[in-house]
Amino acid sequence: MSLDTRTVRRIAKLARIGIDDAEAEGLARELGGILGWVEQLDEVEIAGVPPMIGTGLAAPRAREDVVTDGTVTGGACREAVLSNAPDRVEAFFTVPKVVE
Amino acid sequence: MSYVIEGRTGAWEIVVGLEVHAQVISNAKLFSGASAAYGGEPNTHVSLIDAGFPGMLPVLNHECVAQAVRTGLGLNATIHLESRFDRKNYFYADLPQGYQISQFAHPIVGEGKVLIDLADGGQREIGITRLHLEQDAGKSMHDQDPTRSFIDLNRAGVALMEIVSEPDIRSPEEAGAYLRKLRQILRYIGTCDGNMEEGSMRADVNVSVRKAGEAYRTRCEIKNVNSIRFVMQAIEVEAARQVEIWESGGVVDQETRLFDSARGETRSLRTKEDAHDYRYFPDPDLLPLVISRDWVEALKAALPELPEAKRLRLEAEYGVSRYESGVLTAEQAVADFYEEVAKASDPKLAVNWMLGDFFAALNRTGKSIDESPVSAAGLSELLALIKDATINGKIAKDVLEAMVETGESAAEIVERKGLRQVTDTGAIEGAIRDILAANADKVAEYKSGKEKLFGFFVGQTMKAMKGKGNPAMVNDLLARLLAE
């Protein structure tokens, strides 16, 4: 499967990744190569085989309905959560205004 | 029952489907150990998972799954023993992960149905398409600063149930009835508090219009409507807008709109192209959710009695009317209160008093049934005093008021104020004779045919007896003495 640059630019836009036209061409070739490699799987005969969505060996882990994080860590969690915020105001993250 | 919009080109019917987001009642969030409680100082109910830190893995809160299953059972729906979680990808400042974990292709609950109650006493069945579990987003505040939006992640990751109805709703009234019924069921089961003001229940409303017998036309989705009244208003104005477009030769565009309650109109939410390409894919961090039939059966066995079943039982067991059973079961606490009073006194007397003077007293004092100044035992005692003829109904009203005011028991008030009903024939007869003697002219008028004066004599006698006469005895004796 080959990718055209239009599709590449659309994927980049959805992922909020800025690329220019030259990069788009290169990425189209690279991504196309990856897809082509994965397409080898099409050669496997899977008629009648149900999709495998897990190994079946591991039961999903589940947690009890108990508060173990956030306020119970004495507010330390808030500091950790906000530690990388580039423009913190008091206890809030801030972002450029997202409504008119 | 049928609701139509009369346009220039004829009658239009409306087609509505609702997507309700109901916040699951749980201690912790869907995939993290942070508190799911409403409120809280900003960014204190947040774990590193909710904040989207790299390398953090979600672990499913089993109680949230149980809540979804309970709700599905309450909606008479199919429970899927295997379901999966998908990532719904989009970028927004209050979604730190860059995706919402939701259930797209394989929801935990499939088709079900809800019976709604209409104003004319009729009922209609509204189909449920599905119910799935997903994460809530954080909260953005846009009014704190001129150039920046503030983000609080306390709600990010809280479990939501998205409950999708079939497009079976045909009027604003039915939409309101559906939401009320859904909220009632959620509250009975204890899976969502249904508090729309705090945002724990919100609705996306899909509206289209069509001529009778037509296939569906294009629909618009009105996002995030936060009260039942607004949902009803939004449907009305949106349907009128669409009729106007079709009738003036235009075409309704499928789009997302918002309801402006202040202006009473819906407005297009301009969205960038591609905004709805969510690129769903199975979340590789989460294995498929597999639950056992036995577990589902155990949850089913532990469900409380649901509103409709309770209603039918109250009608059968206590002989209350269809209307009365509806009022009594609107809230579980009211039904419990009623049953306690009905068992301890008299079912008919109990329903009359609860729907009448008792509710009036609650309204007057602004109290809910849980904070009632008069307990079920207290009301039962009052009704018992009426039943054994210690006091009459008129006096009982005053006693109830005194109970609300002072918190004293009915018996205490009756004793203290000397309100016992007079059932002594001699005393009543004496009072009547005095009245008749003092009103000889009226007695003459009565005897010459002015029979409506009977009520006057009853009134005067009761007044003379300070309201304490036994009404039936007063009537009987008066009739006899006037015939003398």
Alpha helices in B388-467 (DSSP H): 393-406, 410-417, 425-438, 440-447, 453-464
Would the CB atoms of B152 and A94 count as touching at under 8 Å? no
Would the CB atoms of B288 and A54 count as touching at under 8 Å? yes
More confident residue, B463 or B107: B107
A94 interfaces chain B, CB cutoff of 8 Å: yes
Percent residues over pLDDT 90 in chain A: 50
B83 interfaces chain A, CB cutoff of 8 Å: no
User: pLDDT for B234-278, tens place per residue?
Assistant: 999 999 999 999 999 999 999 999 999 999 999 998 665 555 689
- Full domain range(s) for residue A22: 5-42
Residue A32's closest CA among A5, A55, A12, A61?
A: A5
- B166 to chain A nearest CA, in Å? 30
Cα distances (Å, whole numbers) of residue B382 to A78, B223, B342, B370, B387: 55, 50, 12, 19, 9
d(CA B256, CA B268) in angstroms, rounded, equals 6
Residue B460's closest CA among B476, B483, B484, B478?
A: B478
Q: Provide the 8-state DSSP code for A39.
A: G
d(CA B98, CA A15) in angstroms, rounded, equals 9
B32 interfaces chain A, CB cutoff of 8 Å: yes
How many Cβ atoms from other residues are within 10 Å of residue B285's Cβ?
13
- Retrieve residue B262's tokens: 């202040």
Would the CB atoms of B46 and A91 count as touching at under 8 Å? no
Question: Which of A64-78, B19-33, B43-57 has maximum average pLDDT?
Answer: B19-33
Whether A89 is in a domain gets the answer yes
| DSSP assignments along B94-123, one per residue | T-TTSEEEE-SSS-SB--EEEEEEPTTS-E
B471 with B395: CB under 8 angstroms?
Answer: no
Q: Considering the domain B425-482 in this protein, what is its CATH number?
A: 1.10.10.410
Residue B108's closest CA among B246, B288, B239, B330?
A: B288
Q: Greatest CA span in chain A, whole angstroms?
A: 59
Place of tokens 């235009």: B250
d(CA B14, CA B220) in angstroms, rounded, equals 12
More confident residue, B252 or A1: B252
Average pLDDT of every residue of chain B: 91
d(CA B479, CA A66) in angstroms, rounded, equals 73
- Helix B453-464 vs helix B425-438: crossing angle, to nearest 10: 120
d(CA A32, CA A36) in angstroms, rounded, equals 6
Would residue B180 be called left, alpha or beta, if left means φ above 0 and alpha means ψ between -120 and 50 degrees?
A: alpha
User: pLDDT for B387-446, tens place per residue?
Assistant: 887 888 888 888 898 898 888 888 888 888 777 777 778 888 888 888 888 888 888 888
Instruction: Give me the mean pLDDT over the B54-61 stretch.
Output: 94
pLDDT, position B411: 84
A98 interfaces chain B, CB cutoff of 8 Å: yes
With bands split at pLDDT 50, 70 and 90, how would you rate the model's confidence at B376?
very high
Query: Which DSSP helix (H) or strand (E) runs through B333?
Result: helix B332-344
The total domain count for chain A is 2
pLDDT, position A71: 66
Whether A62 is in a domain gets the answer no
Whether A54 is in a domain gets the answer no
A34 interfaces chain B, CB cutoff of 8 Å: no
Q: Where are the domains of chain B?
A: 4-299, 305-417, 425-482
pLDDT, position B440: 82
- A36 to chain B nearest CA, in Å? 20
Checking if the pLDDT of B348 tops 90, the result is: yes
Whether A48 is in a domain gets the answer no
User: pLDDT for B79-104, tens place per residue?
Assistant: 999 999 999 999 889 999 999 999 99
pLDDT, position B129: 98
Q: Which residue, among A7, A64, A65, A89, would best test binding to B if mutated, counting the most B CBs under 10 Å from its CB?
A: A65
B4 with B12: CB under 8 angstroms?
Answer: yes
Residue B411's closest CA among B443, B438, B379, B434?
A: B379
Q: What is the ipTM of this complex?
A: 0.86
Average pLDDT of every residue of chain A: 85
Q: Which amino acid is at B347?
A: P
Chain length of chain A = 100
How many Cβ atoms from other residues are within 10 Å of residue B80's Cβ?
21
Least confident of A66-75, B43-52, B348-357: A66-75
Least confident of B107-111, B371-375, B398-402, B448-452: B448-452
B133 interfaces chain A, CB cutoff of 8 Å: no
How many Cβ atoms from other residues are within 10 Å of residue B422's Cβ?
18
Residue B99's closest CA among B56, B157, B139?
A: B157
The dihedral through the CA atoms of B106, B108, B111, B116 has a sign that is negative
Least confident of A64-73, B172-181, B305-314: A64-73
User: pLDDT for B168-212, tens place per residue?
Assistant: 999 999 999 999 999 999 999 999 999 998 889 999 999 999 999
pLDDT, position B37: 92
- Helix B293-301 vs helix B62-74: crossing angle, to nearest 10: 70
Would the CB atoms of A65 and B62 count as touching at under 8 Å? yes
Would the CB atoms of A95 and B84 count as touching at under 8 Å? no
- Retrieve residue B141's tokens: 């505040």
pLDDT, position B67: 98
